[in-house]
Chain A
């Protein structure tokens, strides 16, 4: 019993040191992720982390069950925010039942009647449309695209100093094969009139706030001159199944390469506007510094030196999924290190693996290519030559030449995180 207590205390002290120590030493490098598979289920991980960075790969909430879902990590329960556990990222496509969930307002659909539901297309158009799911399936050519959906605030719990908001670990992301109709085809069918500037999207999600308040509706827009308009789809299928209710049944917008904030769930209204959309959700939140990589400092932000612009494309990222640090590895045993990589800017062309904390790198093998907006799996065989702790690291490069780094990174809302990920593993004697 005393031993258990001692362990608990030393673990807490260790967590504090990890955060505070790293900040004190001025280290930029992201510390290794702590294992999150039940190594010792008689002791719970802490209920919250901070003021240091969250040292775990994922968020620290409890596992919870929701309709059409496997146990996921809870962030909040009303509205619902759930994170996908690490090991579901061993495959290029994230199962629907494990796909993360993030709503903004508490009034989220429990039941939808498709005999009444319609997708309304209106505004500055030649002919307004009201399309049923059957209309979408029959009147338009179906298209499929593999695309990563990632929350703008994925990994927010890594920021130092910490920022308020959903304290995601790394699992606010997923990749799915989305099937539906081209947004462009729907817009062509409605006939956009001259003078149109942007297209606004709204779903069935509603808040308790007063009708005029920003907490009543969630609205996002895409400018018509943004090339992503031609790549976006209105999806009624996800991995060959109807969308789970929590992921936006009956249809959701898919905006390849862009953060999930634009991927409106339970999409019901498409409005063509003649002015740029200045609503709260476009200009007051989901905004990042207008600086290289959206990077700034708390001081510059407080001094009012930072201009904020809407968040957009997802920077290149890569992850180590296994080994996860939950067990020791015998020396000289060939281990397959596995993970995923992606970038909103284009195809991932190179993934490099390091066994020495990022001092030296070597190329990993890339898995099947499902298109430039998909997760790309990677793996490499690693044979540890000596015993002791190792800091494994991974970095990816996309076709535009964007590469991950260890640099200092911060912004006031906790978006765009893409630092080099690390995993500590212990290698023991084999005889």
Chain B
């Protein structure tokens, strides 16, 4: 019983003290002890890798941190084709590009880098990128 009383008194002192402390004139201190929820979820530190005794030097797999693309018509074709050679972080990394530039980028993938995409699907890819990733349309 006594214990509970002490805890109660202790809590009361802390509670009462809070505004008291805040009002204490610590010369020049403008704000202190203020916290708010951080926007970043902390990145966990990775565990060390176990090394083998032989001549094989390994670092394990490389982690993927691929951002979500804007939902919309054509997303399935993008995921299907663009992902073959590179992750779609290559799309989200770009600044807003003009409709013409996106079209040129898609044809560069086909004509220069050898992507095999049908005419119809090429058009859908271009329209998707123009609908979500130009200066006028980009949201995220």
Contacts and interface: CB of A to CB of B under 8 A. Distances in A.
Given A71-B43, A164-B101, A51 B95 contact: yes
Contacts of A79: 86
B39 interface: yes
A284 B60 contact: no
A113 B55 contact: yes
Nearest to A115: B55
Nearest to B57: A112
Interface string A41-62: 1111001111100100000011
A26 B86 CA distance: 37
A49 B57 CA distance: 38
B73 to A, nearest CB: 22
19 contacts: A42-B37, A47-B92, A47-B140, A51-B135, A64-B65, A65-B43, A67-B49, A77-B66, A105-B85, A106-B86, A113-B55, A113-B56, A115-B55, A157-B95, A162-B95, A207-B85, A212-B114, A214-B114, A215-B85
Contacts of B61: 110
Contacts of A71: 43
Interface in A203-220: 207-210, 212-216
Contacts of A162: 95, 97
A10 to B, nearest CB: 17
- Chain A facing B: main interface SS: loop
A213 B114 contact: yes
Contacts of B89: 74-78
A110 B62 contact: yes
Interface string B50-64: 000011111111111
Interface residues of A, number: 56
A246 B63 CA distance: 12
Contact of A210 (B36, B46, B86, B114): B114
Query: For B36, B59, B94, B95, which residue has the most chain A Cβ atoms within 10 angstroms?
Result: B95
A164 B37 CA distance: 35
B38 A41 contact: yes
A111 interface: yes
A213 B113 contact: yes
Interface residues of B, number: 44
Contacts of B60: 67, 110
Interface string B88-102: 011011111100010
Given A106-B85, A108-B62, A112-B57, A48 B36 contact: no
Given A41-B38, A63-B43, A77 B64 contact: yes
For the complex of A and B, list the 8 residue pairs with the smallest distance between their C-beta atoms, beginning with the closest.
A50-B95, A213-B114, A111-B58, A67-B59, A78-B87, A215-B113, A115-B55, A114-B55
A80 interface: yes
A249 interface: yes
A167 interface: yes
B45 interface: yes
Given A43-B39, A209-B114, A77 B95 contact: no
A166 interface: yes
A196 to B, nearest CB: 29
Contacts of A167: 93-95
A162 B101 CA distance: 11
B63 A66 contact: yes
Contact of A65 (B56, B63, B85, B94): B63
A64 B63 contact: yes
B40 interface: yes
A9 to B, nearest CB: 15
A210 B85 CA distance: 11
A66 to B, nearest CB: 6
A50 B135 contact: yes
A192 interface: no
Nearest to B94: A164
Contacts of A111: 56-59
A66 B138 contact: no
B130 to A, nearest CB: 14
A250 interface: yes
Nearest to A80: B62
Given A41-B40, A71-B43, A48 B56 contact: no
Given A43-B39, A214-B112, A245 B57 contact: yes
Interface in A76-132: 76-80, 105-106, 108, 110-115
B105 interface: yes
Query: For B65, B93, B135, B140, which residue has the most chain A Cβ atoms within 10 angstroms?
Result: B93
A136 B65 CA distance: 37
Contacts of B105: 164
A209 B113 contact: yes
A68 interface: yes
B4 interface: no
B96 to A, nearest CB: 5
A65 B54 CA distance: 26
Nearest to A75: B93
Nearest to B116: A210
Contacts of B37: 42
